[in-house]
């Protein structure tokens, strides 16, 4: 659905998300709420369901704001050179070419 919404205006994205993504959000939230009482409250699955249900109100903002993205891929791509460089620059100027423990 997001491929279809890409490069459209914010208003068009809202309309598309309300029509296609909102029912998925509604169904997922209802299903998670139904499953929670069926499992042990101390299990990891119950913790994950509670976490998801707790985040659902903030995630719903995506449905009402056409400027928001569902993921942060654009940001991740923009900082990738910095994070790769940080790793690569660690050994700049070292004479051994070995790992950091051998140099220290």
Average pLDDT (78-101) is 66
Residue 94: strand, helix, or coil: coil
**Sign (positive/negative) of CA torsion 69, 72, 73, 78?**
positive
Residue 104 has pLDDT above 60, yes or no: no
Looking at residue 26, what is its pLDDT? Answer: 96
Q: Which residue has the tokens 């704001």?
A: 65
Q: What's the pLDDT band for 94 if we cut at 50, 70, 90?
A: low
Q: Which two tokens stand for residue 3?
A: 């491929």
Taking only the tens place, the pLDDT of each residue in 15-32 is: 999 999 999 999 999 999
Taking only the tens place, the pLDDT of each residue in 38-89 is: 999 899 999 999 999 999 999 899 899 988 887 777 777 777 777 777 766 7
What global pTM score does this model have? Answer: 0.65
């Amino acid at each position: 659905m997001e491929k279809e919404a890409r490069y459209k205006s914010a208003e068009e994205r809202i309309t598309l998300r309300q029509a296609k993504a909102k029912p998925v959000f509604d169904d997922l939230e209802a299903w998670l709420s139904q499953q929670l009482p069926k499992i042990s409250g101390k299990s990891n699955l119950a913790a994950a369901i509670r976490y998801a249900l707790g985040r659902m109100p903030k995630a719903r903002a995506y449905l009402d704001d056409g400027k928001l993205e569902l993921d942060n891929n654009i940001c991740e791509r923009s900082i990738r050179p910095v994070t790769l460089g940080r790793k690569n620059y660690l050994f700049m100027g070292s004479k051994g070419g070995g790992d950091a423990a051998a140099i220290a």
